[in-house]
Amino acid sequence: MIPVQGVENQTIAVLGLGRSGRATAAALAEGGANVVVWDDGVDTREKAAADGMTVLDMTRERNWEGISALITSPGIPHLYPKPHPVIAMAYELGVPVDNDIGLFFRSFATRDWDRFDTAPRVIAITGSNGKSTTTALIHHILHEAGRPAQLGGNIGTGVLSLEPAEDGEVVVLELSSYQTDLARALTPDVAVFTNLSPDHLDRHGGPGGYFAAKRRLFAEGGPDRAVIGVDEVEGRYLADQLSMSPADDRVIRISSGQKLERFGWSVFARKGYLSEYRKGRQVASIDLREIKGLPGEHNHQNACAAYAAARSVGIAPREIERAFHSFQGLPHRSQTVAEIDGVRWVNDSKATNVDAAAKALTAFQNIRWIAGGMGKDGGIEALAPHLGQVVKAYLIGHSARDFALQIGQTPYEIAETMEQAVVRARAEAQPGETVLLAPAAASFDQYPNFEKRGEHFTALVQALTA
C-alpha cells in the first residue's frame, strides 16, 4: 500500500466503494486522514459499516462540515452527462475533488528515495485501443531485463494498492480517460499515447472532451519523455504541441504504417519490421512477423509504443527483442485459444468498437468472424473495407440483425448465441482458416463484461478438444 501524503488529521470523504474506492480509503487512513465513505448502494454501505468504515450520507449538506476533500472513483461521472449529486455538491461548497490517480502521483515519492542509487520512475500509458497490451508488454520487457517493476492502474493492481517503490524500480500504469480527466496531479516520467478513436463520448461531452482527457496526461505535469502515436491527427497535434522542433527527441513519434525518418527520435513498423530512428539514422530493427504474441498491425503499433518506452528507461534493443518473443499476449486481445485440425481460434472479445474490430480483422486471413452484441452508435458500416478476408460471419446478440444489414455481400448467418456460433464455425471452418471473435459491440446484452464473453468463447473452444 502507498500511504497518501499530506492528509494527516484531515477529514476526507471517499465516494464509491468498489476496488479502487476501498483501496483509496485504506491508503488515506494509513496516511493519517479521518476517512468517511459513501456509496449509492445500500448493500455496499452496509458492508462498509460492518468492516469498520465510517459511513456518512454525503447527499446531505450538513454532513460536509469539516470535509477537506472528496475522492471519487473513476466510474462516477463528474461532469458529463451530468455530475453525480455528491460531486455537484462538492463543487457548490468549494470542496476539492480528486481521484486515486491524483493521490498516487502526489504520494509516490518519499524521503526513502534519498538513499536510493536510482530514483524510481513511472511510465503511464493512455489512448483508445492497445493500452492494456502496451502496458503489459512494457512491464514484461522490464521484468525480462531484470529491472524491478510493478504493474497497476486500469490493469492489475489499483494504484494505491501498489507497494512503495524500491531502488531503481519502474511503475507501469495503464490510465483510462476516466482516470486522467479528474486527477489533480499527473506527473509520469514517461507518458505514452497509443491512438485515438471515438469511445466514451457521452462521458466526455463529445470527441473533443475525450481527447482533452487523454491530453491532460501530457499537459499537466510535463513528462521527461513523451511517446506519441501519430497515426491520427490528434496524435500529430499532440506531438507538435510538446516538441520545440522536429529534432526534439523528448518526443518519440511512433506509427504502424508510416515511415518516420525526419524527427529526432521515432519508432515505426512497416511490412512487419520495427525500426528505431535517431536524428535521421536507423539505429535498430526488429522482425515482428514471427512474434506470435503480437499479431497484426495494431499489435505492431503496441510493440512500437512499448519499445519506445523501454528505450526511454535505458533498455537495450536486443533485450527488448528477446522479451517480445516471450510475450504471450493478454486474454481477450488477439489471444490464440487453440489450433484444432488446422483451424486457429482467436479470442479478441476486447474488440468492443469498430476501430478495434477493424484492427483484429486486418491481423488474420481467411476469417470466420463471430460478431455482435450490444451495438454502438453508428453501427459497423465503417468495417466494410476490412471484410475482404471474411469467409463468413456468425452474428450473435442484440444487434445481430442490424449487423447483417451493414456487412454488404459478406456471407453470414444469424447464430444468436455464442454456443451456436462456435458450433457452426466448427462445422464449416477449413484448415488454414481463423475463427475470430471480434464482436465490434459491447457485451451487456448477454454478458456482464467483455472478459466473461471471452471466457465463454474460450471454454466453448477448449471443449472442442475434449
Tell me: is residue 152 an annotated ligand-binding position: no
Residue-level pLDDT at 385:
95
Least confident of 2-16, 280-294, 303-317: 280-294
Cell of 302: 503496441
Does residue 438 carry a pLDDT above 80?
A: yes
The answer to whether the CB of 362 falls within 8 A of the CB of 383 is no
Beta strands 281-287 and 273-278, pairing class:
antiparallel
CA–CA separation, 451 and 456 (whole Å): 9
Whole-number Å distance between alpha carbons of 93 and 100: 21
> Considering Cα of 62, then 68, then 72, then 77, what sign does the dihedral take?
positive
pTM over 0.75: yes
pLDDT band with cut points at 50, 70 and 90 for residue 13:
very high
Q: What is the CATH number of domain 335-464?
A: 3.90.190.20
Domain map (residue ranges) of the chain:
11-98, 108-326, 335-464
Is 130 known as a binding-site position?
Answer: yes
133 is in an annotated binding site: yes
Q: Does residue 199 register a pLDDT over 80? A: no
Across the range 24-36, mean pLDDT stands at: 98
pLDDT given at position 442: 94
Q: Binning pLDDT at 50, 70 and 90, where does residue 65 land?
A: very high
Asked whether the beta carbons of 364 and 164 are under 8 A apart, the reply is: no
> Shortest CA distance to 70 belongs to which of 236, 170, 184, 154?
184
**C-alpha–C-alpha distance, residues 12 and 375, integer Å:** 40
CA–CA distance, 72 with 163 (Å, rounded to integer)? 22
Helix, strand, or coil (residue 246): coil
Which tens digits make up the pLDDT trace of 122-145?
999 999 888 999 999 999 999 999
| Residue 131 is assigned to a ligand binding site | yes
CATH of domain 108-326: 3.40.1190.10
Whether pLDDT at 466 is above 80: no
CA distance 201 to 204: 5
Query: Rounded distance, CA 195 to CA 172, Å?
Result: 18
Among 190-199, 210-219, 450-459, the least confident range: 190-199
CATH T-level topology, domain 11-98: Rossmann fold (3.40.50)
pLDDT in tens, 71-113: 999 989 999 999 999 999 999 999 999 999 999 999 999 999 9
* Residue 275 in marked binding region: no
Query: C-alpha cell of 350?
Result: 476486447
Beta-carbon contacts of residue 170 (< 8 Å; ≥ 6 apart): 120, 121, 122, 123, 142, 147, 148, 149, 150, 313
pLDDT of residue 453: 98
Average pLDDT over residues 181-199: 93
Is 127 part of any known ligand binding site? yes
CA 84 distance to own-chain centroid: 24
